[in-house]
Amino acid sequence: MKLTKPVYWLYCTGKDGPDKQSPIPNIVLYDFQPTRSAQCAIDFLQGFDGYLNVDGYSAYESTKATLAGCWSHARRKFIEAEKSMPKGKSGKATMAISHIKKLYAVEALAKQEETEEKAFQIRQEKAPAVLATYKDWLEKSPPNSSSS
């Protein structure tokens, strides 16, 4: 019998840190499974059709959730690419990180708000323009060049 390395699926609710204003605690659940099969996510999330912030792993595409990509995971890949650039050179990775930093700045503003409604309003007012600029840059950038 072949033993496989255990896989821990991580599910959490709430914000990415403690929220003293919320009566609902953040919950973190580690789900031990013997595999990374999509079936694990499908089984665990059965009946869930809300938003799911994910890292891009294709297994989540088999659920009924509405998937939302994680900017932290995307940013990490650009940082890895930037580190591989020759010293003193900047390129697409640096530009992508710059755009993502602008989204992080919007989120920092939103987190300063006293209510979720005000935070949501800040995001709705500021993030679409940042995302549109980023999308425009992506569409104008040749896919296989390293310069910006």
Q: What is the model's pLDDT at position 144?
A: 67
Give me the average pLDDT of each 10-residue run along the chain (148 residues). 75 76 81 90 91 88 90 90 83 92 95 89 96 94 64
CA-to-CA separations, 55 to 42, 69, 134, in angstroms, rounded: 16, 6, 20
d(CA 130, CA 132): 5
pTM exceeds cut of 0.85 = no
Q: What is the pLDDT of residues 101-140, one digit of tens each?
A: 999 999 999 989 888 899 999 999 999 999 999 999 999 9
